[in-house]
Amino acid sequence: MKKHKFIIKDKLVMGGEPVIIGTRIPAERLARLIEQGFTPQNLKRDFPQVDSKVIKGAVKEITELAVGALKAV
């Protein structure tokens, strides 16, 4: 299994739910916002405390995970 740089799981953070690194923002929340049409720029506006590079990296990893899930269907 590939280790991700921007989406992490740590049992001490949000009970082990996948989050954006350095935050308590659930990766699923970011995925749902992307589904609603949010761009990285929109996400940066809504989460100004998160570095743009982290947001873009997390979006890329979410996309890779979604594509991987589709290939498994």
Q: Could you identify the residue written with the tokens 């570095």?
A: 51
For all residues of the chain together, what is the average pLDDT? Answer: 92
Give 20's strand partners.
7
Q: Could you give the percent of the chain with pLDDT greater than 70? A: 97
The pLDDT of residue 8 is above 60: yes
Domain 7-71 falls in which CATH fold? Answer: Arc Repressor Mutant, subunit A (1.10.10)
Give the number of other CB atoms < 10 A from CB of residue 33.
17
The pLDDT of residue 21 is above 90: yes
